[in-house]
Structure 1
């Protein structure tokens, strides 16, 4: 049994845990980390040891089934391809996580944690790239995670920035995507973000910082490029969140060593200026659109026509597919609410159940609150079959006033109030019985406010 945080070891206080703490609230685990990189890592690994161990437990068989590669494959790729391109600061943080896990009685090493951090870019970007190099038909494709919006100027009630994000992912991982990280690093800016246990970046990439940066993203469906000589996306995303003081800073850091992994449309806001942007980052192509009076939405469609043509197989004629159906619904709701959008409006949008393609109430794969397990169509472009257990797993929202005080709203589970019950689902859909030991119930929790430095 691990000692409590801050406990004495051999009559000496463990200073590595100094200042750190965690508590549970409405389905979330809130954790405060502070100090030098290795100390932040140690606190992370130690205080989230149970959650990290559980995520490792389910990730291994899940990826084996979905990608036909075992965990040793991902460990080897982490060691040979990713690790050498990570700055010492984040190498130290990752190694700190390992030491914290080990001290808490969890058996894991550096390559386990690097592979866990690369849970998106290795299986869904490196693997299909490797398949092509070997002359094989790719076994996986780029995922279509998330829905998001950001607005400013005349579109919002107070003419300042409002931002919202729904995380879309399979429920095996998504039900465990329930950490609120409050990170006070020795260098760079303070961060408040959601994330996964054992992972140094948000990974669905919703966060605010003490520099006034407001950051989120959605993934580009059908993306097919990767450069193994580049730097890991999770490392660049964390570095950009921690060290950016402007939209230009963010794009510069993300472009430096870009490997094309986890290709996204980044929705960015600078609370100091009121400016927002969509930064679309592929491998060969990227673009930046910015405004101080307007909005951007994301639902897994490419924005730039050249990137769409060169680096994706996205089908713009498939208006009944999940990405374009959600895009149309976002645009409808934003335009209807123009000049009145505030954080409460965005929270309601994220809980929207309406299927705009079939003109009926869902939820399903086309609604902003996504429940693909209720859809007989699934989302084939993401390799999600009929009634696939995936969709919206949690939601976040923030406005300029909250961001200036390092506060955000978060709701764990479906924000439309629908509970996913694993046993019932597996009984009705035995084709997914291979997930029996991996899936858990995913209850819908109320919107909850979190802030930097808050205590239970």
Structure 2
């Protein structure tokens, strides 16, 4: 912010504060609560007005469409962070409250524990560029709302996929913690990438739906268009306040197409490694090939949020699957084939060393039933696969274990809230409010134009209604302050540089 801007902002704030002080002197101690609220609101409005004139915001914007919030961020790392924090401030505050409540509930650890882990373990290994961006988020957030959140809070928040379900289980074992909760790494997402003779016109087609709790998933509705000072331009979905996509669906200007599904019942953590959210963001921003992406993800691998990464290079038509465990990993690649994921490891070494409890032969488990359905769908549609068909596949409700149509934990479009079984592999109890919360798809031609389609809510188009669910399932009453309706929007196109609804 320039000197003139600072002086103008200060003048506005001083004027409001002076008026407030005069009002208080005249009103005395009997001032009404409503008048006091008005004073607080006036001060907040003055702060926001002053911050809105910050030159760092000139290149940034947001709009809403189809249930999504689209934000354009541009500039150096600090500016990108400031824009992110300012434009999404209400959503960050709300998302932080919901996510942190879930982290503390599942792990039985207080928030200070996560702040300490962020400060002492994650922060020192975060690249300077992303440290600046994270600091910028805090600055923008405070400028907009006067938030009390600091950098440690935001770093821990960015680690919400890896700290509670990877670090804490590892730490509990190291400490031989008595009566520790039984934590399992989650299984998030159903996805595929296809190329060559498998697709309608031979180009790459990629599709993904995000599986998570409805508490978090209803908030997972940001489309980030990022034009960084260094590296490639990015278009990705994401969560407010988080610098990586985190459910991971994104494309970059140099032709890389990226998505993933997590590895069920993964075990392991390296406290000396780099946070997964940092490596994932860096790889999407700087990699221009499958080899470069793999190299960045392996550098400092901490085992956090272990995934099967599904990759495409639109420049060559090649696709790949990077199964990234901590003790083992493997890369498959092809220019004519299909690679799918539904939270199962396929490499024998990864299965043995990184997922010792996972049973790849249990046909009734969510990961394996969805694997069987992917194999059926993709084989039956070989040579026909395009984005329109991918949209339909992401909303599929075929349960291969029961051999019938029924939306539940075993269908590609997950509805665990309708299942009396839950998902024991993830410690999701019966009727857990979670499943597929949104979907995205793109192809090589669209990626060249920096374009993808996305649907907020269940990819099938169904709605989740919180009030009747909580009435029927009081065992989830702790979620009531955070659990909201999740209504499906339409499939909507988003492109890099989009300034408003198209």
Q: Which residue of 1 aligns with 2:182?
A: 139
Say which SS state the counterpart of residue 164 (structure 1) adopts.
strand
Query: Which moves more between the two structures, 313-322 or 285-294?
Result: 313-322
Query: Which moves more between the two structures, 59-68 or 227-236?
Result: 59-68
2:326 to 266, 280, 283: 283
Say if 2:76 is the partner of 1:26. no
Q: CA deviation at 1:9?
A: 3.3
Contact 1:207 1:215 in 2 (8 A): yes
Q: CA deviation at 1:361?
A: 1.0
Contact 1:127 1:138 in 2 (8 A): no
Measured against aligned partners, the alpha-carbon deviations of 1:308-355 in whole angstroms (never above 9, x if no partner) come to 011112111211110000011011101111011100010010011111
Contact 2:107 2:181 in 1 (8 A): no
Say which SS state the counterpart of residue 279 (structure 1) adopts.
strand
Say which SS state the counterpart of residue 166 (structure 2) adopts.
helix
Q: Which residue of 1 aligns with 2:152?
A: 111
Q: TM-score, normalised by structure 2?
A: 0.89
Distance in 2 between residues matched to 1:184 and 1:219, nearest whole Å:
28
Q: CA deviation at 1:86?
A: 0.4
Q: Which residue of 1 aligns with 2:163?
A: 122
Q: CA deviation at 1:60?
A: 2.3
Contact 1:60 1:70 in 2 (8 A): no
Contact 2:108 2:181 in 1 (8 A): no
CA gap 1:83/1:433 in 2 versus in 1, 3 angstroms: same
Contact 1:147 1:165 in 2 (8 A): yes
Distance in 2 between residues matched to 1:179 and 1:249, nearest whole Å:
26
Contact 1:101 1:107 in 2 (8 A): no
Contact 2:219 2:239 in 1 (8 A): yes
Distance in 1 between residues matched to 2:104 and 2:226, nearest whole Å:
33
Say which SS state the counterpart of residue 304 (structure 2) adopts.
coil
2:442 to 398, 405, 413: 398
1:425 to 451, 469, 483: 469
Measured against aligned partners, the alpha-carbon deviations of 1:204-248 in whole angstroms (never above 9, x if no partner) come to 110000010000000000100110000000000000000001000
Measured against aligned partners, the alpha-carbon deviations of 1:111-156 in whole angstroms (never above 9, x if no partner) come to 1100110001100000000000011356311110111000000000
Q: Which residue of 2 aligns with 1:50?
A: 90
Q: Which residue of 2 aligns with 1:455?
A: 499
Larger proportion of helix: 2
2:193 to 133, 150, 155: 150
2:373 to 329, 332, 347: 329
Say which SS state the counterpart of residue 65 (structure 1) adopts.
helix
Say if 2:390 is the partner of 1:346. yes
Distance in 2 between residues matched to 1:188 and 1:223, nearest whole Å:
31
Distance in 2 between residues matched to 1:321 and 1:60, nearest whole Å:
29
Say if 2:236 is the partner of 1:193. yes
Say which SS state the counterpart of residue 9 (structure 1) adopts.
helix
CA gap 1:261/1:4 in 2 versus in 1, 3 angstroms: farther
Distance in 2 between residues matched to 1:239 and 1:200, nearest whole Å:
10
Distance in 1 between residues matched to 2:101 and 2:394, nearest whole Å:
31
Contact 1:22 1:47 in 2 (8 A): yes
1:253 to 296, 299, 307: 296
Contact 1:8 1:14 in 2 (8 A): no
Distance in 2 between residues matched to 1:82 and 1:366, nearest whole Å:
35
1:182 to 225, 236, 254: 225
Distance in 1 between residues matched to 2:202 and 2:388, nearest whole Å:
15
Query: Which moves more between the two structures, 66-75 or 177-186?
Result: 66-75
Question: Based on CA coordinates, which of the two structures has the bigger radius of gyration?
Answer: 2
Q: Which runs of 5+ in 2 are unaligned?
A: 1-40
2:55 to 6, 12, 15: 15
Contact 1:68 1:139 in 2 (8 A): no
Distance in 2 between residues matched to 1:189 and 1:339, nearest whole Å:
32
Q: Which residue of 2 aligns with 1:441?
A: 485
Q: Which runs of 5+ in 1 are unaligned?
A: none
Say which SS state the counterpart of residue 301 (structure 1) adopts.
coil
1:410 to 454, 460, 466: 454
Contact 1:369 1:414 in 2 (8 A): yes
Which segments of structure 1 move beyond 4 Å, counting only runs of 4 or more? Answer: 1-5
1:159 to 202, 206, 209: 202
Q: Which residue of 1 aligns with 2:80?
A: 40
Q: CA deviation at 1:417?
A: 1.6
Q: How many residues align?
A: 454
Say which SS state the counterpart of residue 104 (structure 1) adopts.
helix
Distance in 2 between residues matched to 1:374 and 1:216, nearest whole Å:
27
Query: Which moves more between the two structures, 177-186 or 131-140?
Result: 131-140
Q: CA deviation at 1:104?
A: 0.8
2:264 to 199, 209, 221: 221
Distance in 2 between residues matched to 1:362 and 1:214, nearest whole Å:
32
Distance in 1 between residues matched to 2:460 and 2:110, nearest whole Å:
36
Q: CA deviation at 1:3?
A: 6.2
Query: Which moves more between the two structures, 210-219 or 351-360?
Result: 351-360
CA gap 1:395/1:3 in 2 versus in 1, 3 angstroms: farther
Contact 1:145 1:167 in 2 (8 A): yes
Say which SS state the counterpart of residue 385 (structure 2) adopts.
coil
Measured against aligned partners, the alpha-carbon deviations of 1:354-377 in whole angstroms (never above 9, x if no partner) come to 112101111111111100000000
